[in-house]
Chains A and B, each alone.
Chain A
């Protein structure tokens, strides 16, 4: 079966531009998570969805970051007015729900020039 799929695998954008990063979770997984991994650091939690709703968005750094999951499956992480400090690998994970292990995608490497 397919794992968590993230597209694109690499994204280069100019400072100030808008970007969207997509995550296709494992079929049937109700929980979906976004993490950000900066160079030399461990992944940092951004947001967690249970179904269509954001159950915990406490990790989003500021209001330039937003994520949606309108049908409870695919999720999109949206970043407005990108800054060079947003450059990182954005990881998506899914699970069957609370208490179940997370399955991570390969990530999207975002570079803001």
Chain B
């Protein structure tokens, strides 16, 4: 069984400041890792994914994440946030057999203020 832990339910930050959203996972097998963003009243949008290869992956909107196998983490970072980045962010994991059963964390609400 797989599980995802997002320790921070809410992260307040000022505009243009850097941000890190934490994600840890648990799995007995190798995994694929994802970050999704959900803007108010919208569906989930894929930010970035790690399947294999380089542990540093870059996504849309200036976000990046680093896979750390020894710490079973996949933290999301952005060097300078904008007001428009205010949204809920979900970390997810699946097994390499496919994307069929994504297991999501509870989400982290990023609140960017001026």
Where the two chains meet, the residues of A that have a C-beta atom closer than 8 Å to any C-beta of B are 3-4, 31, 33, 35, 40-45, 48, 55-56, 58-59, 91, 93, 95, 98-102, 104-107
A31-B42 Cα distance, complex, nearest whole Å: 21
Contact partners of A107 in chain B: CB under 8 A: 43
Per-residue CB contact flags for chain B residues 24-45 toward chain A (1 = under 8 Å, else 0) read 0000000000001000011111
The 8 nearest A-B residue pairs measured at CB: A42-B104, A98-B98, A104-B43, A104-B44, A48-B100, A106-B43, A45-B101, A43-B104
B99 contacts chain A at the CB level, 8 A cutoff = yes
B102 contacts chain A at the CB level, 8 A cutoff = yes
With A101-B49, A104-B44 known to touch, is A42 a contact of B90 (CB < 8 Å)? yes
B56 contacts chain A at the CB level, 8 A cutoff = no
B103 contacts chain A at the CB level, 8 A cutoff = yes
When C-beta atoms are compared, the residue in chain A nearest to B42 turns out to be A106
| Beta-carbon contact of B104 and A100 below 8 Å | no
Given contacts A98-B98, A101-B46, A105-B43, 19 further A-B contacts (CB under 8 A): A3-B43, A31-B100, A33-B100, A35-B102, A40-B9, A40-B106, A41-B106, A42-B90, A42-B104, A45-B102, A48-B100, A58-B101, A91-B43, A91-B44, A98-B99, A98-B100, A99-B98, A101-B99, A102-B44
Chain B interface, DSSP helix/strand/loop, else mixed: loop
Contacts between the two chains (Cβ within 8 Å), count: 59
When C-beta atoms are compared, the residue in chain A nearest to B32 turns out to be A99
Contact partners of B107 in chain A: CB under 8 A: 41-42
A35-B107 Cα distance, complex, nearest whole Å: 15
Contact partners of B6 in chain A: CB under 8 A: 42
A101-B59 Cα distance, complex, nearest whole Å: 14
| Beta-carbon contact of B104 and A44 below 8 Å | yes
A40-B105 Cα distance, complex, nearest whole Å: 10
Contact of B41 among A4, A43, A58, A106 (CB under 8 A): A106
| Beta-carbon contact of A42 and B43 below 8 Å | no
Nearest chain A CB to B40 CB, angstrom units: 11
Contact partners of B101 in chain A: CB under 8 A: 45, 48, 56, 58-59
